[in-house]
Amino acid sequence: MNNKLPFTFFRMHPKVILLEWEQDPSTETLKELTHFKANILKYSMGVSQITLGYCSLLVQWKEDIINYSDAKKNLIALYSNLSINSTPAKTKHWTLPVCYEGEFALDLAHLSSELKLSKDTIIELHSKTIYTVYFIGFLPGFLYLDGLDSKLFFPRKKNPRLVIPKGAVAIGGKQTGIYPNESPGGWHIIGNTPISLFNTKNETPCFAKSGDTLSFYAVDEAEYQKIQCVNNPKAYLTKVK
């Protein structure tokens, strides 16, 4: 392994160190991050939580870091012994129902006009793609997904909406995402899913994790209402692997 580390250390808090990679986001970088995260949690004493970003790991200890230099040396040693191919991370593929019709698709007509693509073409391009879950934020359960077809790239709104409904599926810049709860936002809404993405009552509040893949499938309004009304709508969230 190259002796030069691909990341830089930043001390963010007495209990927190940020590791920031220099390269652009990629599936290979994500694979490295997820393996390194697992390695730290397995072998580093005192670490309570690690938050994964596109090209970063935010490592938090239970107590204040007494010796910053030793903490860095420990992380460097864990990275130096990292074997990405030896223990592949377990991932799942999820399929999520989306209604791209009527009041659920507030910006679909506008995108159709601006992108010079029919609504059906936008729906087809959006739903046929397999997306990679990079990380979860800025809201609990908000999945940052990579893989949007370049034909659907479109700048975010100059004037964000103050209220975006829970479950809204949207496009912003080079990304697509799902709003797990009602919130302000500047992405263009093209549909809505009846599946709840985040539930604090569950042992794992968010069903997906970094490294998982996800795809959408279109349902009409009648099917959307049917899924929403069943006792366990998550049953319609299918997983493979």
Query: Contact, 203 vs 84, CB < 8 A?
Result: no
Q: How crowded is residue 121: how many other Cβ atoms within 10 Å of its Cβ?
A: 14
- Show the domains of the chain with their CATH numbers: 7-80 (3.30.1360.40), 93-240 (2.40.100.10)
Give 1's pLDDT tier (boundaries 50, 70, 90): very low
Q: How far apart are CA 178 and CA 142, in angstroms?
A: 6
Q: Report the alpha-carbon distance of residue 216 to residue 237 in Å, rounded.
A: 10
Name residue, tokens 């899924």.
Answer: 227
- Return the bridge partners of 154, or none: 173
pLDDT band at 240 (very low <50, low <70, confident <90, very high): low
Q: What is the pLDDT of residues 89-147, one digit of tens each?
A: 678 899 999 999 999 999 999 999 999 999 999 999 999 999 999 888 767 778 889 99
Confidence of residue 86 (pLDDT cuts 50, 70, 90): low
How far apart, in whole angstroms, are the C-alpha atoms of residue 119 and residue 121? 5
The whole-number pLDDT of residue 208 equals: 86
Residue 155 has pLDDT above 70, yes or no: yes
Q: What are 71-82's pLDDT values in tens digits? A: 999 999 999 888
CA distance 176 to 185: 13
More confident residue, 178 or 198: 178
pLDDT of residue 2: 45
Average pLDDT, the chain: 88
User: For residue range 41-62, what is the model confidence (pLDDT) as tens digits?
Assistant: 888 888 998 988 888 899 999 9
Distance (Å, rounded) from C-alpha 12 to C-alpha 6? 19
Question: Do residues 96 and 193 touch, judged by C-beta distance below 8 A?
Answer: yes
Report how far residue 17's alpha carbon sits from residue 49's, in angstroms, rounded to the nearest whole number.
11
